[in-house]
Amino acid sequence: MAKKTKAQIERELKEKYLKDRVKEKKPETGAGIEAQKKEIIARSREFKIFEKEKTAGGEWFEKLAKWSRSLGIKFALDQKTKDKLEVKIRLLGLDVEPADIYSLGIMAIILFLIMGVIAFLFVGPGGLLLAVAGFGAFMYITNYPDRMLDIRRARASSELILSILYMVIFMRTTSNLEAAVKFVADNLETALGNDFKKLLWDVQSRKYASMKEALDSYVLNWKETSPVFVDAVHLIEASLYQGSEDARIRMLNKSLDLSLEGTYEQMIRYANALRTPINMLYMMGIMLPVLGLVMFPIMGAFLSDIVNPLALIVLYDVILPIAVFVFAKYSLAKRPAGFPIPDISIHPDVPPKGKFFMGKGEGRKAYSAWIPAAIVAFLLLLPMFFYFPMYASIKPQEMDIYATLLIVAAPAAAMIIYGKLLATSRMKIRKELQEIEREFADATFQLGNRLGEGYPLEIALTKVASIMGESATSRLFGEISKNINELGMDVESAIFDPKIGAIRFYPSAIVKSILNVAVMSAKKSLDVAAISLVNMSNYLRDIHRIDEKVRDILSETLSSMKFQSSFLAPVISGLVVGLTAMILIILDILGTQVVGMMADEGGAAFGMGAGTWILGIFQVSKAIPLFIFQPVVGIYVVEIIILLSMIDGDIELAGDPLFKFDLISRMLPIGLIIYVIVTFAVTTVFTGIARVAVEAGLVFG
């Protein structure tokens, strides 16, 4: 019998659950059964959330894998490989079969082979690089589930601590494991939160007999990557069976301490292991390819069939950047996350995706950031339409370098403007959220103390706001107090109301979770709320301490990356372009002189064989033209600066696309300016010296 797919199992569970619930009401008609099914689904919050918020991120992979299956491409797997893939597919929530993944890989090889053959016919032997790239695509596709699991587990490291913290906070007052898991599911709005929602559904649909059984099965997924999480969950479960209240509380506290220490050790190991792959990435993916560019123009004169402009473009501007990106992604996949990244897209003052605001207040309008970026790029490229028809020639000249610098500057300037327009206003909000997250540990402690003194939550928030001065936390608490005092709202609505709640302007997962804990625990008692907030405060301090120590360890790597991307790579590339221009101009002058001398003396002074050999050496017409060589190098430099900035962003703040956008918009202008200046200066100086030296040598020789 064929093994059931994940989708079939979920449908059967759903039908079984609905059938059992319908039996309890015993409807009289078929229409009644259908009505009850709809009613049950509507009332089953966990099921709705589970169906809506399954683990995302692999939709494109699912579609491509199913497409390859529909084309009839099949791949037979051995049982061991199939079993391993089924586990990974289930953990990722992908609706594919193990064989589909390998079928997609085979399809990639076939497509790249076809493109390689076509490229070979039009480009030459260099086009066969595409055929080789097909095997790299096969490895990428077949290893996709492993990479996604590594990325998900690494990103979930901070969420694991939060989940333990929420369970501990809840179980300090209520020793109920299922209710504690629900508390985690309600407060974690991430992939890990979806996992806890699914645990609730699995218990409710009778897949597991109890929440303990469901948790024990789930934590096995983290046994290899985060064993401390497994131990912490087992300690929480063990607290249910302690004989005294003090022993139970000690067990819960120990589970939280264990998860914090484990995350710190994991970050330290990662930081120490990161240096080698980063150095390898720079040497093999950047330094050696840039130095190798010096040989291409000269090789082009002798191997014009292989070393042609298109092969150079494909190798340096397509294959190498992709290889650097894939290697960097693989090296950084296991980077543990720190604080959860705030989702500022829901902030009222953040413009829609891809747009920026012009104007202030309600009269402001949102415009696409690509419009001014495209205009600037077009204006920079405009001189090229006049230069190439009038001045570009096969003979190498300095003007080929100077004019084509605009080809590099145009897309780079467009990216800089696009990044600046998107990042400037957003980073202002992001920095305010960073400020409130940094100081929220003290604010939470102060709030816990006020609650411990017997003040209601509404009054405690006002008192802490007055203590915190002009800080972001004071503004948040002041906004909450304003909603309570002026609009007559209760504290929960004053914070979380979707239209006028204060949390709208502070979309931080940490801040939202702490305020949610404060509201929910205050409903039980002020003492419970005070203890919960003090624990949250201690947790925030510990996480900040871990982040700061890890930053100290990574500081050397981060400064090295910034130096390489903004200075070293542009300088070396500019030197390479200048040296190449000098070499080609020297060869062109010498070739012209040799041809003239042979014409004057009828070739007798050299001999027919020697003359042909010398002409072969000094013939630069087949070499890669400077007006193509410089843009290829320049675009490669721009791509490398962007890639190194993205890697730097992933090291410093993993999973924060806005930070990477901002970093690129800051690093790219510096690298571009350095590259343009070095290329212009070196080309001018070296070619000038070369012309003088060659002409002087010919005169006095």
Pair 681, 559 in one domain: yes
* Domain annotation covers residue 258: yes
* Domain annotation covers residue 346: yes
Question: In Å, what is the CA distance from 522 to each residue of 297, 306, 529?
Answer: 74, 74, 5
* Domain annotation covers residue 301: yes
Q: Which residues pair with 554 in a beta bridge?
A: none
Pair 323, 426 in one domain: yes
Q: What are phi and psi of 141, to 5 degrees?
A: -70, -45
Helix (H) or strand (E) holding 570: helix 569-601
pLDDT category at 28 given cuts 50, 70, 90 is very low
pLDDT in tens, 540-567: 787 777 777 767 777 777 777 777 778 8
Pair 632, 644 in one domain: yes
Pair 241, 217 in one domain: yes
Pair 350, 361 in one domain: yes
Pair 353, 280 in one domain: yes
Q: What is the pLDDT of residue 24?
A: 41
Pair 243, 256 in one domain: yes
How many Å apart are CA 261 and CA 239, to the nearest integer? Answer: 20
Under 8 Å between Cβ of 96 and 80: no
* Domain annotation covers residue 149: no
Helix (H) or strand (E) holding 368: strand 365-368
The overall average pLDDT reported for the chain is 76
* Domain annotation covers residue 165: yes
Q: What is the pLDDT of residue 296?
A: 66
Average pLDDT over residues 224-228: 77
| Total number of domains constituting the chain | 5
Pair 573, 674 in one domain: yes
Q: In terms of Cα–Cα distance, which of 256, 300, 194 is closest to 625?
A: 300
Q: Is the pLDDT of residue 334 over 70?
A: no
Q: Domain containing 184: what range?
A: 154-272
Q: Is the pLDDT of residue 3 over 70?
A: no
* Domain annotation covers residue 147: no
Pair 311, 416 in one domain: yes
* Domain annotation covers residue 311: yes
* Domain annotation covers residue 148: no
Q: Which residues pair with 408 in a beta bridge?
A: none
pLDDT in tens, 275-322: 777 777 777 777 778 777 767 666 655 555 556 677 778 778 888 888
pLDDT in tens, 590-634: 766 666 666 555 554 444 444 444 445 545 556 677 888 888 889
Q: What is the pLDDT of residue 608?
A: 47
Under 8 Å between Cβ of 432 and 472: yes
How many Å apart are CA 295 and CA 293, to the nearest integer? Answer: 5
- DSSP, res 104: H
Q: Is the pLDDT of residue 526 over 70?
A: yes
